[in-house]
Amino acid sequence: MSFNPKPKYPNRRAYVLKLRSDAKPGAIAGRLENLATGRQSEFTSGPELLASIAEDITCNAEESAPLIPNR
């Protein structure tokens, strides 16, 4: 059996989702926190929540991209 160095569910993509006490199915609101980076974002709708996740994934991908030295 070989070890896969890239996990299927990396810790960098682990989040805590906190919903506001007044959140409802049609009016979701709360805060999203990345467990690895501590980065937090607030959202007031489902589309904002998804946008926050997409933005965080993009930021993580840019931060972890290998640096290519200039030749």
Q: What are the pLDDT digits (tens) for 13-63?
A: 999 999 999 999 889 999 999 999 999 999 999 999 999 999 998 886 666
**How far is CA 17 from each of CA 5, 11, 30, 49, 55, rounded to the nearest angstrom?**
27, 15, 7, 9, 15
Query: With a threshold of 0.85, does the pTM exceed it?
Result: no
- Would you state the pLDDT for residue 70? 56
